Amino acid sequence: MGTRFFNRENIESNGTSPSRYDIDSEIGSGEYATYTVHIPVTPDNQPSPMAIQLERRASRRVEEQYTTNSIFTGGHNCVTRAHVMDKVIGTDSSHPQMAGAKGSVCAIQGCDAKIMSDERGEDLLPCECDFKICRDCHYDAVRTGDGICPGCKEPYKGEFDLAGVDDGRVLTLSSPVGVSKAGEFDQNGWLFETKGTYGYGNAIWPKEGAGGDGGNDNVGESSQLLSKQWRPLTRKLSIKAAILSPYRLLVLVRMVVLGLFLTWRIRNPNEDAMWLWGMSVVCEIWFAFSWVLDQLPKLCPINRYADLNVLKEKFETPNPRNPTGKSDLPGLDMFVSTADPEKEPPLVTANTILSILAADYPVEKLSCYVSDDGGALLTFEAMAEAASFANLWVPFCRKHDIEPRNPESYFNLKRDPYKNKVRPDFVKDRRRVKREYDEYKVRINGLPDSIRRRSDAYNAREEMKALKLQRQNKNEDEPLENVKVPKATWMADGTHWPGTWVVSGPEHSRGDHAGIIQVMLKPPSDEPLNGTSIDAIPIDLTEVDIRLPLLVYVSREKRLGYDHNKKAGAMNALVRASAIMSNGPFILNLDCDHYIYNSQALREGMCFMMDRGGDRLCYVQFPQRFEGIDPSDRYANHNTVFFDVNMRALDGIQGPMYVGTGCLFRRTALYGFDPPRSKEHHGCCSSSCCFGQRKKKPASVAHASEEEDSSSSQGLRETDDELSLSLLPKSFGNSSFLIDSIPVAEFQGRPLADHPSVKNGRQPGALTMAREPLDAVTVAEAISVISCWYEDKTEWGRRVGWIYGSVTEDVVTGYRMHNRGWRSVYCVTKRDAFRGTAPINLTDRLHQVLRWATGSVEIFFSRNNALLGSHRMKLLQKIAYLNVGIYPFTSIFLIVYCFLPALSLFSGEFIVQSLNVAFLTYLLGITITLCLLAVLEIKWSGIELEEWWRNEQFWLIGGTSAHLAAVLQGLLKVIAGIEISFTLTSKSAGDDLDDEFADLYLIRWTSLMIPPITIMITNLIGIAVGVTRTIYSEIPQWSRLLGGVFFSFWVLVHLYPFAKGLMGRRGRTPTIVFVWSGLIAITISLLWVAINPPSGSSDIGGSFQFP
């Protein structure tokens, strides 16, 4: 066990990196010195070619093993440390890729290092005598001991191939490019025109003049490749004209009817109640305006289809450029974010990670990064348990084609698990894996208690040591003082946890701890690795690839006094760390409770990115699907109208919005670059067509002068190319590793140049090289880029990465990309791509809607308002984003309108002078067109009528509660500068194990419930008062009563799910029931008095006359 200290000054932007010996290996010392040992080459010191090759390969193998078994920590004003861990969790680790995997110890006296091992984790013994020796001792024996084995004292025989790792290719930087004629540094030109740039990744760069751009550059391509019939990876499926044409016609008809109705309402005021008429007209005008904003972007819905067979044929089938048929798909980095293990159970997060590790995507191209923003040891050890169980779960899924690949969801399936399974050992394997999974769940559920007991034991030991030391240093007659030992949280190897302690301490609290990176599963070997019969696994895996994707635990540094920008800041930290460690050109982010339900979803998303024109796609958004929702979907938790109607319609314009999870990003789009050929695409519906063309400006990372803050508009304006390149750290930070990786990621993300029409493509077979192994210097650099100070004076969060300044950072981030001219795609798979959980409790649901609506208000009052969008965004897309910022303000008018029926009943007046034929005709026309539009939306979107109706109900519930609070909070932030804070939505289930939907019946009081309750009570009392007044009036106004009662009934029907939620579980009687019972009793009493009046009364009710 030991600790390395990395000097940050050696990992700077000068392009050099420290050797593995630039380390002070003294343990426990606060002072350290950096030194480098240089052994000059002399005539007496000439290494042999075999020794040089042995040194290179062995060094990589051992460095990677060291990196995997170390936990890296560091941050602001502190040194980066790599602490070797003997074990990560209490149980033994058997998989060779697993951090802390068991290995033999070197037999050389005085050396306790682990011996060399192969991809399976088996010992590598260089001598026939099987003497166990580590890499350093073996190197000394070869170089200084004349090649004599320390065990048998005989010379080593033959060449010992340790790793079989191909030597990496170092790519030199070509002459700088990307300076515009105006002298402004064009970062897009630098990105898309660079021919060969040093960086990280697995790419074969095209030769000078070879086909890198498609078109005429493909002359040198194989004639066999170009003569083959070209097939697209995706197809666009239009909605049937028999449905879409009437739909568009009805939209036009309803707009005309609304216009005529509002005109009639304005010209025919109610002279008896002008105040009532005025409020109603203003509300109705706003409702019509809001409906138009919502409806116009729905005019162009489309469906899409991805062909996985063509993807396999193009990227994983032998061809002249790729004779072996090795996967040519680009790398993919998966992000999973979690922040609080109490509200986001570690078992849920761990199962999400298992579904990622088992996804049907090339293992060597897939990486998974887990962001623990709480820095909790509980999450860390849960991830280690998941990595250990993946050794069994992932090969089991591959062997038997398991779906879904989340073990909890799979073992809880209500359908027959043996359907379509033909292997005779499936029943036995499933039974054994189920038993292992039950034990795995028990271990994770027992982690909190295990960590507590372990920490208490170690803290008691430290207190005893401190007390003993105090007794030794004091005289016998001096009284002993109370020993104060910090209540630390301890890891499984007996060392302090560098993150958040259970009992918070200095530099170990939720908002104050060091940055942490732990490689849980090291990068897999490049070739398939089948299991063996001797593996300690309860199922036969001799024909199954047992490799696992790269898995990395990341907890960014947090310090007091820094704004860490919540989830957006955590995502940006993952973007930087992943760029240095794996640099996948595509990124897919998931919430911790959203798992992969369709193992081929990643391939379907990649079809769009790799298709012709896919280089202009910034992201592929998948719909969100939820589990654990009550069958009636009382609070519209499935949100199908938004995901299946609005998002599908936006796909026909410029693309769907980014909704926070289940989104496949292009890395360079997140970096803030403009799309390639951005000046060639404006679209027939762009705002420039309608409002004129703005003066064009040179392309840059983003149009700072149009939509960014003025400080970033200075740009990179240097005439000297090298000076311009040196200014890139102003946008991305001072990490040369990160900057060098950007062009590589862009090149790897290009579609194949397999057709003359494919522009900005790459050669087939360019991504078949092996990935370089991780080393300690790379992980140390990753530690530096997740430090809290790294983003200072950079564009991270303003133009680069996830955008800061809003609680709905997802919408803003997607808006910025669309505003730069990028397109997005909506990928609706036949089998749901991802599934997650949603709050079914009324209070949690209202708080969730409050958070979304507050973010929309922030967007409206910020520079991200669609009214300030650039000319590159299409007009209908602008309208959709404008609606996002405006819809919460509808709550003001909606609440007023919900009180109008009661006010009408109280006053005896109505919003119109009388229920004449014109008013009823307009009302009937508006209602019929709305119903017909709903029917046609159901037809082309595939949703159900009940789902549409639930959405309408919750629109009113949310509009009268959470949306109004969001408007007030947004105004307070804009006017008074009061920041808004929200708590995480709990992902844990209810305490009632017998009822799956126990949370549905829980009643947690919140002030958001006050407006809807007031509206319901007011309308009920208004009905009672209106009926009583009409019955006992000398000249009853039945038409006004009917109008008021009808609209009151319309309000109450929409609020019925809210009222039902207040009732709680059947069989229990909350207080609200008694309130309702009293109101109903009063109403019935009044009606009984009207039907059977007291003696002496006559002519009650007069005569009923309908106009």
pLDDT tens per residue across span 656-713: 999 999 999 999 999 999 998 776 655 444 433 333 333 333 333 333 333 333 333 3
Average predicted confidence (pLDDT) for the chain: 79
Beta strands 302-306 and 823-826, pairing class = unpaired
pLDDT band at residue 14 using 50, 70 and 90 as cut-offs: very low
The per-type count for the chain, helices as H runs and strands as E runs, is 34, 16
Q: Which residues, other chains included, contact 578 with Cβ-Cβ below 8 Å and sequence gap of 6+? A: 333, 335, 367, 369, 552, 584, 587
* Ramachandran category for residue 698: left, alpha or beta (phi over 0 → left; psi -120 to 50 → alpha): beta
**Is residue 406 classed exposed, middle or buried when 0-12, 13-18 and 19+ CB atoms within 10 A define those classes?**
buried
CA 700 – CA 186 distance, rounded (Å) = 5
- State residue 11's pLDDT score: 44
- State residue 79's pLDDT score: 77
- 750-787: per-residue pLDDT in tens? 998 888 888 788 888 889 888 888 888 999 999 999 99
For 706, list phi and psi in degrees, rounded to 5. Answer: -100, -45
- State residue 207's pLDDT score: 44
CA 286 – CA 258 distance, rounded (Å) = 11
- 352-399: per-residue pLDDT in tens? 999 999 999 999 999 999 999 999 999 999 999 999 999 999 999 999
Lowest mean pLDDT among 332-346, 1030-1044, 1064-1078: 1064-1078
- State residue 173's pLDDT score: 29
Token pair in block for residue 200: 């990280």
Residue 114 pairs in a beta bridge with 105
For 1083, list phi and psi in degrees, rounded to 5. Answer: -65, -45
**Residue 130 pLDDT exceeds 80:** no
**Residue 806 pLDDT exceeds 80:** yes
Nearest one of 76, 74, 73, 982 to 560, comparing CA atoms: 76
Contact call for residues 513 and 497 (beta carbons, < 8 A): no
- State residue 925's pLDDT score: 93
CB atoms within 10 A of CB 1103: 8
Nearest one of 739, 782, 769 to 197, comparing CA atoms: 739
CA 487 – CA 472 distance, rounded (Å) = 23
Nearest one of 337, 801, 734, 786 to 564, comparing CA atoms: 786
Beta strands 3-6 and 70-75, pairing class = unpaired
Q: Is 373 a known active-site residue?
A: yes
**Residue 569 pLDDT exceeds 90:** yes
- State residue 160's pLDDT score: 54
CA 721 – CA 741 distance, rounded (Å) = 19
- 941-983: per-residue pLDDT in tens? 999 999 999 999 999 999 999 999 999 988 888 887 776 666 5
Give the H or E element holding residue 951. helix 945-959
Beta strands 302-306 and 234-238, pairing class = antiparallel
Does 156 or 29 have the greater pLDDT score?
156
CB atoms within 10 A of CB 73: 23
First to last CA, the chain: 93
- State residue 1074's pLDDT score: 54
Residue 521 pairs in a beta bridge with 98, 551
Contact call for residues 903 and 227 (beta carbons, < 8 A): no
- State residue 301's pLDDT score: 94
CA 332 – CA 293 distance, rounded (Å) = 37
CA 878 – CA 815 distance, rounded (Å) = 9
Lowest mean pLDDT among 184-188, 406-410, 634-638, 1042-1046: 184-188
Nearest one of 499, 501, 480, 600 to 558, comparing CA atoms: 499
SS3 520: strand
Beta strands 823-826 and 586-591, pairing class = unpaired
CA 800 – CA 816 distance, rounded (Å) = 10
Q: Is 810 a known active-site residue?
A: yes
Q: Provide, rounded to the nearest whole percent, the portion of the chain with pLDDT above 90.
A: 47
Lowest mean pLDDT among 39-48, 58-67, 180-189, 529-538: 180-189
SS3 165: coil
- Return the amino acid letter for 719: T
Find the catalytic residue in 775, 810, 832, 999: 810
CA atoms within 13 A of residue 763's CA, in its CB half-sphere: 23
pTM of the predicted model, to two decimals?
Answer: 0.83
- The beta-strand segments (E) located in 488-541 are 515-521
Q: Provide, rounded to the nearest whole percent, the portion of the chain with pLDDT above 70.
A: 73
Find the catalytic residue in 328, 333, 372, 373: 373
- 700-754: per-residue pLDDT in tens? 333 333 333 333 333 333 333 444 566 788 899 999 999 999 999 999 999 988 8
**Residue 412 pLDDT exceeds 80:** yes
